[in-house]
Amino acid sequence: VISDPRVGTQVADEGKLNCMRIKLNSLFVDDQQKALDFYADILGFKKSQDLPVGEFRWLTVASPEGGDAELSLEPNVNPAAKTYQEALFEQGIPITAFEVDDLEYEFRRLSDLNVVFKTEPTNVGDVTIAVLVDTCGNLIQLYQPASE
């Protein structure tokens, strides 16, 4: 094993990088079914995992384009998590961001589905952003990188 300063990790002798990946991210939601309906039926993600776990569910969605990253829709039952979620919302801070190919199109499509936007598409340099309300206690940023 040798050090590779480009990635700050170890490279195995056969040349394969030993690096971390983001495979799962979570966000807290006030109602898992409402969240699934919004993230699947409105935003267009596909349901990936839906397993009963006591009174709640292990519930994840993923991009319809494939890949192995999933977003877990976690029940917001921990008081600390609820306080965190509410504080971010009140301060207008998105909990996460999703990249889109055409932000103007997504803005029109989602607006037609009665999605509430806190920020309409706004160019902020190398990216255009918009912020929507996910109906489950979160602000979500959509972004489109500038064309090259």
Question: Which pLDDT tens digit goes with each residue over 97-115?
Answer: 999 999 999 999 999 999 9
Q: Are strands 96-99 and 70-75 parallel, antiparallel or unpaired?
A: unpaired
21 or 127, greater pLDDT: 127
For the entire predicted model, the pTM comes to 0.86
pLDDT band at 147 (very low <50, low <70, confident <90, very high): confident
CA distance 117 to 107: 8
* Per-residue model confidence as pLDDT tens digits over 1-46: 555 555 555 555 566 777 888 999 999 999 999 999 999 999 999 9
- 67 conformational bin, left if phi > 0, alpha if psi -120 to 50, beta if neither: left
Task: Please answer whether residues 11 and 18 qualify as being in contact, where contact means their C-beta atoms are separated by less than 8 angstroms.
Answer: yes
